[in-house]
Amino acid sequence: MNWITQPWPWCIAGPLIGLMVPALLLLGNKPFGISSSLRHICAVCVPARIPFFNYDWKRESWNLFFVAGVILGGFIAAYYMQGADPVKINPQTTALLKQEGVKDFSTLVPTDIFSLDALATLRGLIFVVLGGFMVGFGTRYADGCTSGHSIMGISTLQWPSMVATCCFMIGGFAMTWFILPYLIKL
């Protein structure tokens, strides 16, 4: 198996992601987390005298370098490591999604839903804009995302992170099972 061009199995990728926790602590006592970067971007660009965005963001600038690295890593993997190839998901999921109206299965995301052209449609606005808004609002309200709570928080045995992670999953299941089928049909 060629590890550069083939997708990585969970038993390789999961432990590597777990190692980000000690790596960032060793590199300078940084807690693994991504969503704080969204707050720092607000603090840098549009603090607008909101107390929540008026703090010394320069002390947290490592986090902005970290997410800039994630963008760069995404570029390297997609363009030089065949990372954007079609995803071999469970055929049952494919069948279900086709039935609900998803058409494009040729890359990482269904481009019939996620594209700049689709932004002119109600469905596109909901998936691209409203979804993003909920991710940004929700992660900050919850004080962390999948990396900060589910991985960093649970690894360090913090029960509020366990509560947050359970709520992430409840929200995700509720959306997928009860609401998303109607949104895809829009």
Does 122 interact with other proteins (rule: CB under 8 A)?
no
Which of 73, 20, 13, 61 has the alpha carbon at shortest distance from 37?
61
Residues between 79 and 108 that touch other proteins (CB under 8 A) = 79, 81, 83-84, 87, 89-90, 92-94, 96-97, 105, 108
The nearest distance, CB 139 to other proteins, in angstroms, is 5
Sign of CA dihedral 59, 54, 149, 63: negative
Output 4-9 pairs: Cβ under 8 A, ≥24 positions apart.
4/81, 4/82, 5/81, 5/82, 7/85, 7/87, 7/88
Which residue in the set 78, 101, 112, 121 belongs to the binding site for other proteins (CB under 8 A)?
78
Residues between 130 and 169 that touch other proteins (CB under 8 A) = 130-147, 149-161, 163-169
Residues between 34 and 73 that touch other proteins (CB under 8 A) = 34-35, 37-39, 41-42, 46, 50, 52-53, 61-63, 65-73
Crossing angle for the helix pair 61-80 and 36-45, to the nearest 10 degrees: 110
The nearest distance, CB 110 to other proteins, in angstroms, is 6
**AA identity, residue 60:** E
Which residue in the set 12, 98, 99, 103 belongs to the binding site for other proteins (CB under 8 A)?
12
Cα 86-89-77 angle, rounded to 5 deg: 40
Which residue in the set 101, 112, 114, 121 belongs to the binding site for other proteins (CB under 8 A)?
114
